[in-house]
Structure 1
Amino acid sequence: MPADSSRDTGLQPERTTLSWTRTAAGLLLNAMLNLRSGYVHDAVPLLVLSGALVVAAAAVSGFGCVRRRQLARRGPAALADPLAMRVVTAATLLATGTGLASVLVGHWG
């Protein structure tokens, strides 16, 4: 079925940009909590993972800004960049690994 250009786009672009913001904020919060845990327990690997997570949060935030501009310029029909999706997936996996490392350091440290 062909796309109808007169179709009401609703709030989809706004929801998309808000989800990028929430994801970046969640990653940054996770990184800050794990940085504190690594500092308190003197766990260098956790500090390194947390530092990488801060960088990942910044990358997700940057991709979110790019996506916001794309949606503002081309509307909801603008396709998401596959690289951005891979970065978010990698950042989410890094956040999961860092969180698990933090729990293990707190439990055994």
Structure 2
Amino acid sequence: MSRDPGLQPERTRLAWTRTGVAMAANALLLLKAGISGQHAVLFVSAAIVGIVAAAFVAVGDCRSLRLAAAPVAVGTWMMWMVSSVAVMVAASSVCCVVLGMR
């Protein structure tokens, strides 16, 4: 019996890409705040958030390709790790923008 993957790989890729694009938008906002305020910490934060955004898109592509080939179970450690990184990046972005506006 052949496996019908349905739309799971596509949904996975879109979700990871959407998260990466949102993080890239935060990186651009940090970069803009850093340029206008001449704060080095905002430039460094923008670079870190940009790298994490690219990593999210890359992980999403790899994950969707694996899902298209065969079902892969996600461990709870991976879910916690990804969620923690996303929350930390969002919180640091907000802190940097708030501190950069002063």
Q: Normalised by the shorter chain, which TM-score bucket? A: 0.7 to 0.9
Alpha-carbon spacing, 1:34–1:101, altered in 2? closer, same or farther (3 Å): same
**Residue matched to 2:24:** 28
8 Å contact from structure 2 (residues 66, 72) kept in 1: yes
**Residue matched to 2:96:** 101
**1:48 and 2:48 correspond:** no
**Residue matched to 1:89:** 84
**1:12 and 2:13 correspond:** no
1:40: Cα distance to partner? 0.7
8 Å contact from structure 1 (residues 34, 47) kept in 2: yes
8 Å contact from structure 2 (residues 9, 65) kept in 1: no
1:62: Cα distance to partner? 1.1
Whose Rg is larger? 1
The residue type paired with residue 41 of structure 2 is P
Q: What is the aligned length?
A: 101
1:89: Cα distance to partner? 3.0
Alpha-carbon spacing, 1:48–1:83, altered in 2? closer, same or farther (3 Å): same
When normalised by structure 2's length, the TM-score is: 0.80
RMSD of aligned residue pairs (Cα, Å): 2.4
When normalised by structure 1's length, the TM-score is: 0.76
Alpha-carbon spacing, 1:30–1:85, altered in 2? closer, same or farther (3 Å): same
The residue type paired with residue 72 of structure 2 is A
1:9: Cα distance to partner? 5.4
